[in-house]
Amino acid sequence: MGGVDTPAVVITQRGAERILSGHLWIYRTDVAEASGVEPGVVVRLVDRRKRFWGQALYSDKSQIALRLLTREKRPFNRAFLAERIQAAAAFRAQVAKGAYAYRLVASEGDLLPSLIIDRYADCFVVQTLSQGMERLKPAVVEILQEQFQPRSILERNDVAVRALEGLPEQKGFLAGEAVQEVVAEENGVKFCFDLLGGQKTGGFLDQRENRAAARLYARGRALDCFTYTGGFALTLAPHCESVVGVDTSAEALALARRNQELNGFTNVEWKEANCFDYLKAADQEKRRFDVVVLDPPAFARQKSSLESALRGYKELNLRALKILNAGGVLVTCSCSFHVSEADLLEVIASAALDARRTVTVVERRTQSRDHPILLTVPETHYLKCLILRAL
């Protein structure tokens, strides 16, 4: 880790400007000199005139060559890392108070770029998504043990972005007991999280507050598209006559069914289907709903797919608006960073006109507060959640 012998990487003027602009990433093209620097180490950033700019994690593979850790000169050592994790936890004690499953460390949002730590009750799931964080993984595990005495620590490093760092995809237990499933309550509803086999680290924690927000509008017949393990569906269920949850994943629906049983709800049914097809058929069969939730996977993973993503969002929202009863509520989400809130509002406005519906914007929301948005790193604001009412 960082210390007196911390190696130096020389950055260009444009690299320094990235730091001045408040971003944490410096691209490889803005590295002037890094010869002999070991992959994944903490480095000092200096410009050609030897001026100090901060300390960063160095990658010899990724286009993101440097991830800024601090602008301070103080060595970025284990104590520094432990402080950052503790600060992140202290913030969660405020904004995720009473939650059992939440994001303890959110990468850039907690000034720990490429480190994600999700907490599910007394189990912790870690993702180390750069060479630098991979090197710090043993220290992270020790710090978690010291600060939280967890029952289990797992890694879910089975993610494709690791390839950009030359890191293998891997998952498994790092410390403690081999706990694969955890039952934790969210917004008063019990969910079983499959930490080793589920999507992401087991759950979509970024939607916790939006699921709670959606509950305010729950009534009558509800439809939860892209339900995964029943997140929105089961949060709405106690306040609705009936709920349908739709997903293409049979595995996810099997867990959704178990979650339903855990809570003893009898008014929910699950459909294994493509949501585009399901919505089309529902319209043709004249089925109508009072609440529709759309929480699709990211349609635009790259900027180049923005156009086709917008077409996808338009089609989904158009179909959803068509099957809403008068006064019905649409909870519509996009987790594509490349689709701005303005873009989403625009396609929905266009969908509303096509569907001949008058729509009001009831709430404009984003990811839960345990996924902080760093003001000067736009990439950290990825989730948009709009709550709309069709008159």
CB of 125 to ligand SAH, least distance (A): 15
Alpha-carbon torsion angle 228, 233, 234, 238, nearest 10: 180
Q: Is 124 in the site for ligand SAH (CB under 6 A)?
A: no
| Closest CB 117 distance from ligand SAH, rounded Å | 19
- Which range, of 44-52, 130-138, 152-160, 274-282, touches ligand SAH by CB under 6 A? 274-282
Separation between Cα atoms, residue 292 and residue 320, nearest integer Å:
7
Candidate residues 15, 150, 231, 372; the one interacting with ligand SAH per rule CB under 6 A: 231
Residue 183 CB: number of other CB atoms within 10 A?
15
Complex with ligand SAH: residue 62 or 201, whichever CB lies closer: 201
Considering only residues 134, 155, 186, 247, which one is a binding residue for ligand SAH as defined by CB under 6 A? Answer: 247
Contact positions with ligand SAH (CB under 6 A) in 151-210:
204, 207
Cα(218)–Cα(126) distance, integer angstroms:
34
Among 70, 77, 187, 249, binds ligand SAH (CB under 6 A): 249
Which candidate, 125, 258, 139, 254, places its Cα nearest to that of 179? 125
| Strand segments (E) across the chain | 8-11, 25-27, 31-33, 42-46, 52-58, 64-70, 101-106, 115-120, 123-128, 152-157, 170-176, 181-186, 189-194, 221-225, 242-247, 268-272, 289-294, 324-334, 359-366, 384-390
Q: Rule CB under 6 A: say whether 252 interacts with ligand SAH.
A: yes
**Residue number closest to ligand SAH, CB atom:** 231
Query: What is the dihedral sign for C-alpha 31, 160, 173, 228?
Result: positive
Lookup result for tokens 């969210």: 186
Among the listed residues 13, 147, 170, 248, the single contact to ligand SAH using CB under 6 A: 248
- Pick the binder of ligand SAH from 226, 289, 299, 382 (CB under 6 A): 226
By beta-carbon proximity to ligand SAH, the closer residue of 108 and 224 is 224
| Cα distances (Å, whole numbers) of residue 154 to 179, 200, 230 | 9, 12, 24
* 64 versus 275: smaller Cβ distance to ligand SAH: 275
- Measured from the CB atom, is 113 or 231 closer to ligand SAH? 231
Q: How far is the CB of 267 from ligand SAH (least distance, A)?
A: 18
Contact (CB, 8 A) for 210 and 267: no
Within 285-304, which residues bind ligand SAH (CB under 6 A)? 295, 297
For 81, phi and psi rounded to 5 degrees?
-60, -45
According to the binding rule CB under 6 A, does residue 110 interact with ligand SAH? no
Please name every residue paired with 193 in a beta bridge, in sequence order, or none if there are none: 182
Nearer to ligand SAH (CB atom), residue 54 or residue 198: 198
Ramachandran assignment for 264, one of left (phi > 0), alpha (psi -120 to 50 degrees), beta (any other): left
Q: Which is nearer to ligand SAH, 135 or 280 (CB)?
A: 280
Does residue 259 touch ligand SAH according to CB under 6 A? no
- Candidate segments 7-15, 66-74, 160-168, 226-234, binder of ligand SAH by CB under 6 A: 226-234
Instruction: List the catalytic residues.
Output: 335
C-alpha–C-alpha distance, residues 25 and 108, integer Å: 10
Tell me whether residue 173 or residue 265 sits nearer to ligand SAH (CB atom).
265
From 227, 264, 262, select the one nearest 244 (Cα to Cα): 227
- Interface residue list for ligand SAH (CB under 6 A): 204, 207, 226-228, 231-232, 246-249, 252, 274-276, 295, 297
